[in-house]
């Protein structure tokens, strides 16, 4: 096992900002702490990861129904789910410097030389706001701290309208909000982030098997996405760290530059949530099993991952520095073709019109099927470096010979090998 690399953290944050992946939010006003905006490449990367997540849920053996639920739900939802009373972290304050932080996270380095801490108080992590023009106790609502509850409160809607049969899943992707006491480590822990969650409904007797199925499937997904296998591990929760709703949980953890951190949790939630919503709403949320004419509340396996945390893990995992023969170092993101923000860069050797025309033609040929970009600024060497640094797997160079032989040079990011390909064969070439 390689040691985590603390320097890497700084490098990734710098490249992310300089190359258009992630910017500090409100940066022209000095930035808002721990809030981030995704730039053109970060947005593409996030969308590609999310697309691959949805694609992985299309399987022939089980049905997963997509939903897109509201960020603001009735406060009754959070009352029933236990978030109003339970969704808190233990907060301590230093009496000397007034810093506040989570008492279950060790401070490194300490907040000040005295570090004189109060005893922990529970701090609810949900963001409060109000709906409507009058602010009173009835107008109070919360921004969702997870996408999962939006699924549970739609269980009956999906069951009925889709005529769903057990086992089946409902999946949701979107923003969640937590007023984290100690946000930080770039986009690892932010107050506004994106989750990708599946609630998989099954019979109680099959729950353990389905938990194993999802744990294996989700771990494989991260590996196929391009995360380093040796930087991923499974960690079952100890009984005393289980969330109030969970019967058992296994985390998929990634070795971040500061150590192991959660990427996704796979929890057996039993029928906790459906039971709670059935009791509080008075609505029948049972599943009717026509095979034996019985009604029951299904068990739930929940793979709950972080989309924005995955973006960070992917940047960390695919970042490479290579020593070139001329003594220079090139930096690159070795991202898979599927996930790279730009898949093919088209580079004219010079800015002459006749080369630009060919670039535009190639772009129209490829851009309907691939993510492309025409890059004209700076020397060809510098453009290759920039494309390496944003993870582009292939560069096409159009030169003056292209005018006569209808061929272009295709450069592979990882091997830096170049081959001459006929323009008409490019689509076929990249499809392979
Ligand atoms: P942690 O222990 O790191 O606070 P958690 O156990 O509270 O995380 P879950 O409630 O299981 O997290 O949420 C599922 C996933 O959502 C996490 O695995 C993580 O990827 C993501 N996530 C949770 N909180 C944040 C956050 N503040 N910023 C970014 N991603 C988050």
Cβ neighbours around 71 below 10 Å, total: 14
Q: What is the pLDDT of residues 332-353, one digit of tens each?
A: 999 999 999 999 999 999 999 9
Strand-strand pairing, 344-348 and 394-398: parallel
- Span 187-234, pLDDT tens digits: 999 999 999 999 999 999 999 999 999 999 999 999 999 999 999 999
Question: Can you read off the two tokens belonging to residue 32?
Answer: 């808002």
CB 393 within 8 A of CB 334: no
Residues 6+ apart with CB under 8 A from 60: none
Q: Which atom of ligand 1 is nearest the CA belonging to 252?
A: 18
Tokens of 190: 């932010």
Structural domains of the chain sorted by starting position, each given as residue range(s) with its CATH number in brackets: 8-72+140-316 (3.30.930.10), 342-431 (3.40.50.800)
pLDDT at 5: 78
Strands (E) across 145-258 are located at 168-177, 192-202, 232-236, 248-256
255-310 tens-digit pLDDT: 999 999 999 999 999 999 999 999 999 999 999 999 889 999 999 999 999 999 99
Query: Cα–Cα distances in Å, from 117 out to 92, 98, 102, 104, 305?
Result: 6, 9, 11, 13, 33
Strand residues in 277-343 grouped as ranges (E): 287-289, 294-296, 299-306, 319-323, 329-333
What separation in Å is there between the alpha carbon of 167 and the centre of ligand 1?
Answer: 26
Q: Ligand 1: which of 306, 312, 314 to mutate, most ligand atoms within 8 Å of CB?
A: 306
- Counting every residue written for the chain, the total comes to 432
Residue nearest to atom 8 of ligand 1 (CA): 262
For ligand 1, atom 21: residue with the closest CA: 306
Residues with CB under 6 A from ligand 1: 146, 178, 180, 189-190, 193, 195, 262-265, 304-306, 308-309
Per-residue pLDDT tens digits of the chain, which is 432 residues long? 456 678 999 999 999 999 999 999 999 999 998 899 999 999 999 999 999 999 999 988 899 999 999 999 999 999 999 999 988 777 888 888 888 787 777 666 778 888 888 888 887 899 999 999 889 888 999 999 999 999 999 999 999 999 999 999 999 999 999 999 888 899 999 999 999 999 999 999 999 999 999 999 999 999 999 999 999 999 999 999 888 788 999 999 999 999 999 999 999 999 999 999 999 999 999 999 998 899 999 999 999 999 999 999 999 999 999 999 899 999 999 999 999 999 999 999 999 999 999 999 999 999 999 999 999 999 999 999 999 999 999 999 999 999 999 999 999 999 999 999 999 999 999 998
d(CA 33, CA 37): 12
**Contact indicator for 126, 179 with CB cutoff of 8 Å:** yes
* Residue 391 near residue 335, CB atoms below 8 Å: yes
């Amino acid at each position: 096992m390689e040691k985590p690399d603390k320097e890497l953290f700084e490098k990734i944050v710098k490249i992310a900002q300089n190359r258009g992946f992630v910017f500090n939010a409100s940066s022209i006003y000095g930035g808002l702490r721990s809030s981030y905006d995704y730039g053109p490449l970060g947005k593409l990367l996030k969308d590609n990861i999310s697309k691959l997540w949805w694609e992985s849920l299309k399987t022939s053996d089980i049905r997963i129904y997509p939903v897109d639920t509201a960020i603001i739900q009735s406060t009754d939802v959070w009352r029933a789910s236990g978030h109003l009373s339970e969704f808190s972290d233990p907060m301590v304050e230093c009496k000397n410097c007034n810093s506040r932080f989570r008492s279950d996270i060790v401070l490194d380095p300490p907040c000040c030389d005295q570090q004189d801490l109060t005893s922990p108080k529970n701090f609810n992590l949900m963001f409060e706001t109000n709906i409507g023009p009058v602010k009173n106790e009835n107008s109070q609502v919360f921004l969702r701290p997870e996408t999962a509850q939006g699924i549970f409160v739609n269980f009956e809607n999906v069951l009925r309208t889709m005529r769903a049969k057990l086992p089946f899943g409902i999946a949701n992707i979107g923003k969640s909000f937590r007023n984290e006491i100690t946000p930080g480590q770039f986009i690892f822990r932010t107050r506004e982030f994106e989750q990708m969650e599946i609630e998989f409904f099954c019979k109680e007797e099959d729950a353990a098997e389905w938990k194993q199925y999802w744990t294996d499937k989700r771990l494989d997904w991260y590996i196929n996405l391009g995360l380093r296998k040796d930087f991923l591990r499974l960690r079952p929760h100890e009984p005393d760290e289980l969330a109030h709703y969970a019967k058992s949980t296994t985390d998929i953890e990634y070795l971040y530059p500061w150590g192991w951190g959660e990427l996704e949790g796979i929890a057996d939630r039993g029928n906790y949530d459906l039971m709670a919503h059935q009791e509080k709403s008075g609505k029948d949320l049972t599943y009717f099993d026509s095979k034996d004419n019985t009604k029951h509340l299904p068990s739930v396996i929940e793979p709950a991952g972080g989309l924005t945390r995955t973006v960070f893990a992917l940047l960390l995992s695919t970042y490479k520095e290579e020593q070139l023969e001329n003594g220079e170092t090139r930096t690159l993101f070795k991202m898979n073709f599927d996930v790279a923000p730009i898949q093919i860069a088209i580079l004219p050797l010079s800015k002459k019109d006749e080369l630009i025309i060919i670039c535009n033609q190639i772009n129209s040929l490829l851009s309907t099927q691939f993510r492309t970009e025409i890059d004209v600024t700076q020397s060809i060497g510098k453009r290759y470096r920039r494309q390496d640094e944003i993870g582009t797997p292939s560069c096409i160079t159009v030169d003056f010979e292209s005018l006569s032989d209808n061929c272009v040079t295709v450069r592979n990011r990882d091997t830096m090998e170049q081959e001459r390909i006929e323009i008409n064969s490019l689509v076929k070439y990249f499809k392979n």
